[in-house]
A and B are shown apart, each in its own frame.
Chain A
Amino acid sequence: MSPLATGFEIPFLRAVWIGTAVLCVASIAIMAVLIARRAAASAEAVQRDARRQSLSRFILAALKSPVALDAAALPPVTQADFPILVSLALDMLRSLRGTDAVRICSLLKLWGVEPYLLAMAVRGRPGKRIRAVTLLGFLDDDTSLQVLLATARDREMYVQISALRALAQRGASGHIDTITDSLAQSGQTNTLLLHDILQRFGATAVPALSRLAQSPASAEVRTAAVMALGSIGATDAVPALITLSEDAVTDVRAQALAALGKIADPRGASVIARRLSDLDASVRVQAAQALGELHALSTLPALAGSLNDSDWWVRFRAAQAIHRFGDKGVAALKALSRQPGAGGEIASQALLEFTGAR
């Protein structure tokens, strides 16, 4: 022992090396167990693949059968087969719809998979719950509907989104008020996916979506509702969208303009043109793009003015929008390209890109 070692040092040093050695050996032991588990799982996977193939062949044959099969005609399955059936059904339902989808779902019910799905939807890791919820979207009974409505309030982002998608898949627009109420209170932030799902509820959802867009919900949820209104293309949402184009939240304002552009209702033209002078560049960009969708000649001077905007993207989108006016737009761009400054430059660049001529 070193003459410099003190009473404190030795216990500390021993704790370090003994502790490290124990951790080291323990981690190697755990890894060895995992390797053994993987080896065993590999053997099971071969059996599972064979079972999957056999069940897949049966389902495909059942889909071609001229008559619907009853429970007695089905090969027996055990609980261990349920994950395989869920996986198979999901794979097939990605490409099948109509009567084939109905048949697959009735086979699942006959095999007694539904209670397994209902249980899977409410507990376990998100990936499994999402799979269960997705399949429940293809069923038509009230029990699964209630589970989906409950799951539409789930705190896990993708589970909630899957439940909403499943409800849209089932055409549950009769429950849209319940759905938008739960969304208004949720912390959902995935605006784009939410928009994609909400627009699937179609025109009957417009009043509820308009209310959601103007509710005190989070900015992300409100923005999604606004985007959905635009994608549905309902003209009866125009008054609400015009109001929302003045909203305090930038994204809501910008998406209200985009929605007005998609709906292409002339009532929106002057409102959108006013927003070309919004303080936020992202709103001005959306306004320019929306005017490109509308092609209202009355907005051409405003768009020409935006060619001198301080933001390049506003200038470019304005030039793009002018070009969408057709021959009149091209003529306007040619005239504008002769002007000095940023406006003339972007008009010139846009002409070169869109028409190949100066």
Chain B
Amino acid sequence: MDIGAQASAFLVDYSPYLLILSWTILGIGVAQNLVYALQLPAAWAELRERSQAEDSESAFQLLISDVAMPISLVVPGYNEEATIVESVRSMLSLRYPDLEIIVVNDGSKDGTLQALIDAFQLQPVTRAHEEAVKHQPIRQVYGSSMYARLLVVDKHNGGKSDAINAGINLSRNPLFCVVDADSLLEIESLLSSVRPFMEDPRHMIAVGGTIRVLNGCVVKNGQVIQSGLPRKFLPLVQYMEYIRAYLMARLAWSRWGILTLISGAFGIFRRSVAVEVGGFTHGTVGEDYELIVKMHKHMRNQDRVYSLRYVPEPVCWTEAPETLKVLSNQRKRWQRGALEVFFRHRDMLLNPRYGKVGMLGFLNNLIIDVLGPIAEVLGYILMPLFWIAGVFSFDFFLAYVALFFAFGVFISVCSLILEELELRRVPRASDLALLLGVAIVENFGYRQLTNVWRIIGWWEFLRGKTSWGTMTRKGFGPKPGSEAAMTITPKNA
């Protein structure tokens, strides 16, 4: 019997099972899209109700008052010699009435510490502090004779979580904000993001802001002076992804009270609660996700009333990878992080003790993070084969294509519509047109590629891989002899 005949016989024999598999894949697609479809109106309602876009007056009044809640900006850095000085300068220029900046040099092997010492005239100081959360030993704490609110902590290497924990211990304010050393905060971002804490001072425990792609923007003196779209396809498509992820998913989860992720690149946390949960967890690549889940769990276990919120207006600009290698590393790491947290806290899944977070938030994570990539990649391979083999009808195949391709276009375009109606951060009409094109194109090739990376991430998770991988950046400071303002075009290795 030849191979073709064997395959035909196999398909005939196993046709009912293959059909069940096909329906399972389609069912996961329906579930995923149902989640997205519900998120859309919720995100819009949240934007309409809480938008600060037209309310610059309240931000100004908060700025000139002396009642803004004090914030400690914790900046963990490892081998950030290229960007750290400009990054700290940018943070020193943030408009916020009561801010201390704690830069934590996590045992860098390059000249990060020396660059800071030279640029800010650092001197060794003593700072009494509580060992509230664990971290590697501190070698020295430095204060700046130029900027009283700048503190630099030099410690032994222990990873990002460890460095943040050291910053938490040294901080003396009720709130701390974690910002990546290679990111730029918009000048009034803290004024916008502190508002939920002031609105609900007894219950708000964490607030997340928006991450946007820096590539293509013009940066001067550590601030984005002209926003623009990236010129290359990969960062451009990530620009669209960030709009979709933040403007739709996080807004909706925030509205429903089940926000389970605040980006590690920009989030504000209530220090006391972060300390109660033991700070950031070591040895995980999803430390930001882990912290939020731990906070939910802790507050629910203690039957305490609490809130978390995502605020779309404050923006943190970050460089997006421009090469497939770096981007794939990032996505595989994100997938591992999501799986680590999901399985570490799997007891929360559909557990009524954890309320909406367990019943809906973790169910969403199961559908989107755990099963989603498997169903998608299986679908890419099997569905065309099954259709050709006659396992199911053409209508079935069209429904599959609609759910896994066309619905993605709908969701991306709707995110763009939300962005334009409520925030208007995309500079020009031509940029909007370009993003519309990207919103369509990304569903045919790019989305499938990211799902393949997520499957590799799954595999790495099963094998117990824990490393972060590398991501080098060009930095946004002007190079000697160059013009003061520069357009960001990073070289990622």
Does residue B62 face the partner (Cβ distance < 8 Å to A)?
yes
Does residue A21 face the partner (Cβ distance < 8 Å to B)?
yes
Q: Is the CB of A196 within 8 A of B67?
A: yes
Which residues of chain A are within 8 angstroms of B202 by Cβ–Cβ distance? Answer: 219-220, 251
Q: Is the CB of A350 within 8 A of B198?
A: no
Q: Is the CB of A16 within 8 A of B402?
A: yes
Task: Quote the shortest CB–CB distance from B339 to chain A (angstroms).
Answer: 29
Task: Quote the shortest CB–CB distance from A356 to chain B (angstroms).
Answer: 7
Interface centre among A9, A10, A192, A352 (most CB of B within 10 A): A192
Q: Is the CB of B198 within 8 A of A192?
A: yes
Assembly CA distance A4 to B390 (angstroms): 9
Q: Is the CB of A127 within 8 A of B53?
A: yes
Q: Which residue of A lies closest to B199 (CB)?
A: A190
Q: Is the CB of A127 within 8 A of B55?
A: yes
Does residue A60 face the partner (Cβ distance < 8 Å to B)?
no
Segment with Cβ contacts to B, from A31-39, A234-242, A265-273, A289-297: A31-39
Q: Is the CB of B407 within 8 A of A312?
A: no
Which residues of chain A are within 8 angstroms of B410 by Cβ–Cβ distance? Answer: 20, 23-24, 27
Could you tell me the dominant secondary structure of chain B's interface residues? helix
Assembly CA distance A219 to B200 (angstroms): 12
Does residue B440 face the partner (Cβ distance < 8 Å to A)?
yes
Assembly CA distance A215 to B335 (angstroms): 53
Q: Is the CB of A195 within 8 A of B421?
A: no
Q: Is the CB of A31 within 8 A of B128?
A: no
Q: Is the CB of B395 within 8 A of A10?
A: yes
**Residue total for B at the interface (Cβ-Cβ under 8 A):** 60
Assembly CA distance A23 to B19 (angstroms): 27
Does residue A346 face the partner (Cβ distance < 8 Å to B)?
yes
Q: Is the CB of A356 within 8 A of B65?
A: no
Segment with Cβ contacts to B, from A63-71, A128-136, A140-148, A172-180: A128-136
Interface centre among B54, B58, B398 (most CB of A within 10 A): B58
Q: What range describes how many residues of A lie at the interface?
A: 35 or more
Does residue B468 face the partner (Cβ distance < 8 Å to A)?
no
Q: Is the CB of A1 within 8 A of B394?
A: yes
Does residue B6 face the partner (Cβ distance < 8 Å to A)?
no
Segment with Cβ contacts to A, from B159-167, B286-294, B427-435: B427-435
Assembly CA distance A161 to B65 (angstroms): 13
Report if A21-B402 is in contact (Cβ < 8 Å); known contacts: A38-B432, A162-B58. yes
Q: Is the CB of A196 within 8 A of B398?
A: no
Q: Is the CB of A349 within 8 A of B126?
A: yes
Q: Is the CB of A13 within 8 A of B432?
A: no
Q: Is the CB of B128 within 8 A of A192?
A: no
Which residues of chain A are within 8 angstroms of B200 by Cβ–Cβ distance? Answer: 189
Does residue A92 face the partner (Cβ distance < 8 Å to B)?
no
Which residues of chain B are within 8 angstroms of A24 by Cβ–Cβ distance? Answer: 406-407, 409-410, 413
Does residue B368 face the partner (Cβ distance < 8 Å to A)?
no
Docked complex: B266-298 residues within 8 A CB-CB of A: none
Report if A193-B67 is in contact (Cβ < 8 Å); known contacts: A23-B410, A24-B406, A42-B428. yes
Task: Quote the shortest CB–CB distance from B33 to chain A (angstroms).
Answer: 8
Assembly CA distance A27 to B15 (angstroms): 37
Assembly CA distance A190 to B19 (angstroms): 57
Q: Is the CB of A39 within 8 A of B429?
A: yes
Q: Is the CB of A38 within 8 A of B395?
A: no
Q: Is the CB of A165 within 8 A of B55?
A: no
Task: Quote the shortest CB–CB distance from A341 to chain B (angstroms).
Answer: 15
Interface centre among A14, A16, A39, A90 (most CB of B within 10 A): A16
Which residues of chain A are within 8 angstroms of B440 by Cβ–Cβ distance? Answer: 28
Q: Is the CB of B127 within 8 A of A353?
A: yes
Does residue A316 face the partner (Cβ distance < 8 Å to B)?
yes
Q: Is the CB of A162 within 8 A of B57?
A: yes
**Which single member of A10, A20, A38, A131 contacts B393 (CB below 8 Å)?**
A10
Which residues of chain A are within 8 angstroms of B19 by Cβ–Cβ distance? Answer: 2, 4
Which residues of chain A are within 8 angstroms of B326 by Cβ–Cβ distance? Answer: none
Q: How would residues 160 to 202 of chain B score, 1 for a CB under 8 Å from any chain A CB and 0 otherwise?
A: 0000000000000000000000000000000000000011111
Task: Quote the shortest CB–CB distance from B81 to chain A (angstroms).
Answer: 30
Q: Is the CB of B401 within 8 A of A346?
A: no
Assembly CA distance A136 to B480 (angstroms): 51
Q: Which residue of A lies closest to B141 (CB)?
A: A353
Instruction: Please name 13 further chain A to chain B contacts, defined as beta carbons within 8 Å, in addition to the given A16-B30, A34-B417, A192-B68, sorted by A numbering.
Output: A14-B399, A17-B401, A17-B402, A27-B409, A27-B413, A127-B51, A127-B56, A162-B61, A190-B198, A190-B199, A191-B201, A316-B128, A349-B126
CB-defined A-B contacts under 8 Å, sample of 10: A5-B396, A9-B393, A13-B396, A19-B402, A27-B417, A35-B433, A193-B198, A196-B66, A313-B130, A353-B125
